[in-house]
Amino acid sequence: MRLTMMEFVEPDMVLARTLYDPCGRPLLRRGVKLTSSYIRRLKSLGYTALYIDHPLTHDVRVEDYVPPELKAHLIKEVREIFQGVRDSGRVGDVLPDKNVYRIVDLFTDILESMQGNELFEVHMGSILNKDEALLNHSFYVSLFSTIIAMSKGMDESRVREIGIGALLHDIGKVVIPDKILNKPGKLTALEWQEVQEHALMGYDIIRKQHAFSIVSAHCAYQHHERLDGSGYPRGLSGDSIHPVGRITAVADVFEAMTATRAYKRPILPSEVIEYLYAQCGTQFDIEYVEAFRDHVALYPVGVTIQLNDDRRGVVVANHPEFPQRPIVRIFAHGNESVTPYELDMAKTLNVVVADFRRDPLIALPVHEEQ
Ligand SMILES: [Fe+2]
């Protein structure tokens, strides 16, 4: 299978992984041949990428470190919480116990499924409605924060506190009007002040829940603080920022910059990592940027990439010890298709990933498997 950006998905392509609807029910099953109406529907639901079967990548398998049903169920609970806060229009209420306890239970199951993994992968492509960008963002910030905490050897209860806190780190945003959050131009001073308030509002919401720890609330409160004191809401600096705030900050920025959104194209994960390095010591804690770098493969198995020498191929494996340099099955040099061969980027250091946002394999004649 391989991951294909939605704009390149065409009728008759075969879906390689089951898709789940926002309630965790199967929406389209693996093996279904896509039709124009399926594709239109998936686009309207906000899917930006799909795994499809491809003759040259039949043997490529994508492992889930979080089972998709579990992810869908967790997102459903968070969606209900966000909706409840949005409907009430204020942040003083206690969240429904039902959702809060389900989140704790589901997150415990997710942690269990992640145990024992040495290497995780970034995601590519949103699987949720455009209106639910905040949910998608929340889920991946939670996963990345969890990975960083696990890789630092934190105990399970602390990892869970961080994961749940990161899941709800932006909950204060749900009461900020969309016209401010999605404003394309510069915010006025008043609007910017309103946006900044989401950190404190999130803290207030989370700390009132008995099932959540105060540590989780600090993920919301401190995820925009920066080491040099330039962050908000309190302008904390250095060690006065709790480690959970420093961890969530790294996960938050990485996710926001690499994500596909309705209004922006994603930035290359390797470029975002470079950005984080450049800001280590001033904005971000190097300890957590390194933990992220060492445990998250930047280009997931199945993604189509283009190298700086114009070779094109699909990532077929990642090295746990060198997660930025995948093994790529090359199918084309420029627009010329070639007999497929594998290039280990860990052994060929003079090539880098130049792009993954285009999908040049689509237009190529396909070599059938031998
Ligand atoms: Fe935020």
Residue scoring higher pLDDT (39 or 67): 39
CA of 223 to the centre of ligand 1 (A): 7
Q: Tell me the pLDDT of the chain averaged across its residues.
A: 87
Q: Which fold has domain 68-297?
A: Hypothetical protein af1432 (1.10.3210)
Assess whether the previous peptide bond of 233 is cis (omega < 30° from 0): yes
CA of 127 to the centre of ligand 1 (A): 21
Quote the DSSP letter at residue 172. Answer: G
> What does the domain layout of the chain look like in residue ranges?
1-53, 68-297, 300-370
User: Hey, what are 36's tokens?
Assistant: 């124009």
CA of 108 to the centre of ligand 1 (A): 24
Per-residue pLDDT at 67 = 83
For residue 346, the number of C-alpha atoms closer than 13 Å in the C-beta half-sphere is: 12
Candidates 301, 300, 307; CA nearest to 333 is: 307
Q: Which DSSP helix (H) or strand (E) runs through 147?
A: helix 133-151
Candidates 315, 317, 369, 360; CA nearest to 339 is: 369
Q: Which DSSP helix (H) or strand (E) runs through 197?
A: helix 189-207
CA of 226 to the centre of ligand 1 (A): 13
Per-residue pLDDT at 362 = 47
Quick one: pLDDT band at residue 369, thresholds 50, 70, 90? Answer: very low
Beta strand pairing status for 26-28 and 19-20?
antiparallel
One DSSP character per residue, 227-246 reads TTS--SSS---GGGS-HHHH
What is the identity of the amino acid at 317? A
CA of 151 to the centre of ligand 1 (A): 23
CB 318 within 8 A of CB 354: no
CA of 166 to the centre of ligand 1 (A): 10
> Out of 6-10, 17-21, 211-215, which region has the weakest mean confidence (pLDDT)?
17-21
CATH superfamily of 1-53: Molybdopterin biosynthesis moea protein, domain 2 (3.90.105.10)
CA of 155 to the centre of ligand 1 (A): 25
CB 7 within 8 A of CB 114: no
CA of 354 to the centre of ligand 1 (A): 29
**Model pTM above 0.85:** yes
CA of 224 to the centre of ligand 1 (A): 6
Query: pLDDT tens digits for 139-195?
Result: 999 999 999 999 999 999 999 999 999 999 999 998 888 888 878 788 899 999 999
CA of 13 to the centre of ligand 1 (A): 38
User: Hey, what are 172's tokens?
Assistant: 């204060």
Quick one: pLDDT band at residue 94, thresholds 50, 70, 90? Answer: low
- Helix pair angle (243-258, 269-278), 10° resolution: 140
Q: What is the mean pLDDT of residues 229-252?
A: 97
CA of 276 to the centre of ligand 1 (A): 17
**Chain-centre distance of CA 247, in angstroms?**
15
CB 50 within 8 A of CB 6: yes
